[in-house]
Amino acid sequence: MARLLALTLHNIRNIGNGEITFETLPSAGSVTGIYGANGSGKTSVLDAIRLLRPTISGEPLPEEATELVSIGESEAELSALFRVRVDDGERYLKYTVVYRRIDNVLRIAQESVCVSDSERRLGRPFVRYTADERNRLDLSPITRWQSIVAAVDDKVAVALGEQRASLERRSFLFSDTFLDYLRTAAEGGMKPLAKDVQRWLAHYPSAFAVMKELQSWARTRMFLLSTQHNSIVSYNLLPISVPSETERPRELVFSMGDVNNLNDSELAELNRSLGDFNQIMPYLVHDMTLKVRNMGTTILPDGSTANEVVLMSVRDGVEVPLMHESEGVTRIVGMLAYLIRAYNDPDVLVTIDELDGGVFEYLLGEMLHEFSRNAQGQLIFTAHNLRPMERMDFPQKTIVLSTLDPNHRFIPYMTVGRTNNPRRQYIQALQSGGKVADLYKCTSPQMLGVGFTLAGGVDERTEQDVEHGLRSLEHVPTNDLERML
């Protein structure tokens, strides 16, 4: 099991510097809603997590990842704190990685790992790797790792693993090559080490197990839903997780807007999952359930036989192809598998960009109210609809606000003012600009009207009169604008 506890971001898209803590709720789950003005860095947090997943999975960085580095910068830095459960208890791991844009390709320039049984005692890195243009294995602390590398029987394999990680834009510290190497050291499968090195390694008895567990968790328990074209899951697809005897569960994705060709095993898994969905679906969309309509069989190009099936919605006994339902309904169905996981599975991390898109406001608030009370897993989302602010329990632990300051992008929600309604407090803070940090540049409706008038095209004299009026209002306090206009 692993849980993301905190993120520190530097030069990620429009975030100069930002820190977010993901609090643990009484239910042992974690629910975090990120709120803020358009362009204030909400989605950039989810983009950073999307970049973190392949990094700690030991997989290649996506080709489009270079877009995540802030414009005008060549490097971006990401630091993540995790709590990881292994056989001998819980450990804390802090992973820091520096990404460098070289010839429009993103590579890992430096990475480090700190491991401890206490968050407060993380201290210096257990291992730090720096990409070396001279193709040397550059690990630090130097004196410790030189001794360990010297004891490795197959140094060539380790060096080649490092070069391959660099060429394939992978993390070296979370590569299978390095983790196998670390496992060998942990199990004493090397040549005898100096006593001081043995004592040093003894301080990190679970380092290999913790890093390996985190790698496995990232591969199998991180689910990232985005509205962008590079998302892992698109909302017109229905994801079904199929248990597997191997480490990685099989993920079957079914189209909600087209005919699916499924073998008998896949059809059985789909029917099983729809049975689970139908336990909650009628409460999300009134009296609606899901079913499969089998249109017959077909022969695939490889000669095998497949079932042609269409996903249907059922209300009051009337069946309608799911593709003909509203965007809001299909979006709920597309998110449902992951929401169920985030609610029930303590090992899961789910991120959803614009969770509120197409979802009925009242339903959204009630659903997140229940998540904040009883969710077991971790859910991180962005939204513009403020209803969940009123309904989520523990607002100090579930709400993060983005600001207009790129070097201080995020602040936790704090109870202030005369009302204990977080939504009202937030709106009041927006109207006043925010006392702790700039949350929004408030504009009066009259000023918006002036802008639309100018944009619609007016004669030259009217435009001059409007511009003169705007200049005279530049220094008038916002609270007095309505009275004056």
pLDDT > 70 fraction of the chain, expressed in percent and rounded: 79
Q: Is 137 helix (H, G, I), strand (E, B) or coil?
A: coil
195: buried, middle or exposed (CB in 10 Å: 19+, 13-18, 0-12)?
A: exposed
Do residues 421 and 66 lie in contact, with contact meaning Cβ atoms separated by under 8 Å?
Answer: no
Q: Is 481's pLDDT higher than 60?
A: no
Q: Is 137's pLDDT higher than 70?
A: no
Q: Which two tokens stand for residue 84?
A: 């990881």
Q: Is 301's pLDDT higher than 60?
A: yes
- Number of other residues whose CB lies within 10 A of the CB of residue 22: 20
* Cα-Cα-Cα-Cα dihedral sign, residues 45, 50, 54, 56: positive
Measured in residues, the chain has a length of 485
pLDDT confidence of residue 210: 93
Show the beta-strand stretches assigned E in 372-426: 378-382, 399-402, 410-412
Q: Where are the domains of the chain?
A: 2-222, 241-329, 445-484
**Closest Cα partner for 60 from 168, 160, 167?**
168
Name every residue whose Cβ is closer than 8 Å to that of residue 255 and which is 6 or more positions away in sequence. Answer: 236, 237, 238, 311
Q: What is the pLDDT of residues 180-198, one digit of tens each?
A: 877 776 666 556 666 667 6
Q: Give the pLDDT band (50/70/90) at residue 459.
A: low
**Closest Cα partner for 348 from 219, 244, 173?**
219
Name every residue whose Cβ is closer than 8 Å to that of residue 393 and which is 6 or more positions away in sequence. Answer: 25, 369, 372, 373
pLDDT confidence of residue 42: 94
Q: Is 229's pLDDT higher than 50?
A: no
Q: What is the pLDDT of residues 407-458, one digit of tens each?
A: 999 999 986 555 678 898 888 888 876 666 788 877 777 778 777 777 776 6
Q: What is the pTM of this model?
A: 0.88
Q: Is 131's pLDDT higher than 50?
A: yes
- Number of other residues whose CB lies within 10 A of the CB of residue 43: 21
When pLDDT is averaged across residues 464-477 and rounded to a whole number, the result is: 62
Q: Which of 21-35, 209-223, 272-286, 405-419 has the lowest mean pLDDT?
A: 405-419
Name every residue whose Cβ is closer than 8 Å to that of residue 40 and which is 6 or more positions away in sequence. Answer: 14, 402, 403, 404, 409
Do residues 17 and 407 lie in contact, with contact meaning Cβ atoms separated by under 8 Å?
Answer: yes
Do residues 79 and 7 lie in contact, with contact meaning Cβ atoms separated by under 8 Å?
Answer: yes
pLDDT confidence of residue 232: 39
pLDDT confidence of residue 82: 98
When pLDDT is averaged across residues 266-285 and rounded to a whole number, the result is: 92
pLDDT confidence of residue 233: 43
Q: Is 41's pLDDT higher than 70?
A: yes
Q: CA neighbours within 13 Å on the CB side: how many for 145?
A: 17
pLDDT confidence of residue 231: 41
Name every residue whose Cβ is closer than 8 Å to that of residue 45 and which is 6 or more positions away in sequence. Answer: 7, 9, 15, 18, 20, 34, 380, 382, 410
191: buried, middle or exposed (CB in 10 Å: 19+, 13-18, 0-12)?
A: exposed
Of the chain, the end-to-end C-alpha distance in Å amounts to 59
* β-pairing verdict for 30-35 and 378-382: parallel
When pLDDT is averaged across residues 217-233 and rounded to a whole number, the result is: 72
- Distance (Å, whole) CA 352 – CA 333: 14
Q: What is the pLDDT of residues 380-415, one digit of tens each?
A: 999 999 999 999 999 999 999 999 999 999 999 986
pLDDT confidence of residue 5: 98
Q: Is 211's pLDDT higher than 80?
A: yes
pLDDT confidence of residue 139: 74
Tell me which DSSP letter residue 476 carries: S
Q: Give the pLDDT band (50/70/90) at residue 293.
A: very high
- Distance (Å, whole) CA 186 – CA 205: 7
Q: Is 152's pLDDT higher than 70?
A: no
- Number of other residues whose CB lies within 10 A of the CB of residue 466: 15
- Distance (Å, whole) CA 330 – CA 256: 8
- Distance (Å, whole) CA 150 – CA 137: 11
Average pLDDT of the chain to the nearest whole number: 84
Q: Which residue has the higher pLDDT, 252 or 344?
A: 344
Q: What is the pLDDT of residues 325-340, one digit of tens each?
A: 888 888 898 889 889 9
pLDDT confidence of residue 485: 34
Q: What is the pLDDT of residues 163-183, one digit of tens each?
A: 666 667 899 899 988 888 777
* β-pairing verdict for 318-321 and 305-315: antiparallel
Q: Which of 39-43, 80-84, 141-145, 344-348 has the lowest mean pLDDT?
A: 141-145
